[in-house]
Chains A and B, each alone.
Chain A
Amino acid sequence: AQSVAQPEDQVNVAEGNPLTVKCTYSVSGNPYLFWYVQYPNRGLQFLLKYITGDNLVKGSYGFEAEFNKSQTSFHLKKPSALVSDSALYFCAVRESSGNTPLVFGKGTRLSVIA
């Protein structure tokens, strides 16, 4: 069975500093990996995805994520955090083969402090 772990419920970072939101996954085959962001009272918005190819994936709003197969991780990063990045971030995974649904992590709340 596939699963996703986001080990941190909350991440605090100062504006202008780099940020990292961690995600590890477990699938039996090759993974498709996604990051979504949820702002207050809004639905989830797609940020980026890893399907195959370069391990570093660039997405919306200056975010990027690095796929590390040996560590089964897909951490979300941004070089310089903005206060407006404060939101709830979800990592999600599905297997590349088979007919399985997208499995989401529990989410990490990012607070960027001015």
Chain B
Amino acid sequence: DSGVTQTPKHLITATGQRVTLRCSPRSGDLSVYWYQQSLDQGLQFLIQYYNGEERAKGNILERFSAQQFPDLHSELNLSSLELGDSALYFCASSVPHATVSGGLNEQFFGPGTRLTVL
């Protein structure tokens, strides 16, 4: 158990809908990262937050957004969903570092949310 929790585990929804994925980092970790894992694209970095502020953006669509709250949990919002958004969405956290490189420290991954868009 990495200490990172994600809810829900599974989410099934229809095209055009909006969903919110939730992540709670390990206790004390200030950095939260979101990744999308699909069969054809592999593991893609979406976005990073550090202590409530956005630090870096990767291959995140404009239909997607995220935020990190004062209690450090994070939410990833996906809107106007398309079939191609079906994927596993992972959250990861790392020990406090302001930079997206996270210094020398590895990231700890949550179990993921499997999103299916029908």
A contacts, CB < 8 Å to B: 32, 34, 36, 41-46, 49, 51, 90, 94-96, 98-107
Contact = CB atoms under 8 A, between A and B. Distances in A.
Contacts of A34: 106
Chain B interface size, under 10 / 10 to 19 / 20 to 34 / 35 or more: 20 to 34
B109 A101 contact: no
Contacts of A98: 101
Contacts of B55: 99
Contacts, number: 62
A70 to B, nearest CB: 23
Contacts of B33: 101-102
6 contacts: A43-B110, A44-B92, A45-B2, A46-B108, A49-B106, A102-B33
A101 B58 contact: yes
A90 B108 contact: no
Given A99-B101, A101-B48, A46 B107 contact: yes
A98 B107 CA distance: 18
Which are the 9 A-B pairs with shortest beta-carbon distances? Answer: A43-B109, A106-B42, A104-B43, A44-B109, A46-B106, A101-B45, A99-B99, A43-B111, A101-B100
B25 interface: no
B61 interface: no
Nearest to A106: B42
A100 B101 CA distance: 5
Contacts of B109: 36, 43-45
Contacts of A102: 33, 45, 101-102, 107
Interface in B47-62: 48, 55-56, 58
Contact of B112 (A43, A49, A51, A104): A43
A101 B56 contact: yes
Nearest to B108: A46
Contacts of B106: 34, 46, 49
Given A99-B99, A100-B100, A42 B43 contact: no
B12 interface: no
A106 B111 CA distance: 18
B21 interface: no
B11 to A, nearest CB: 15
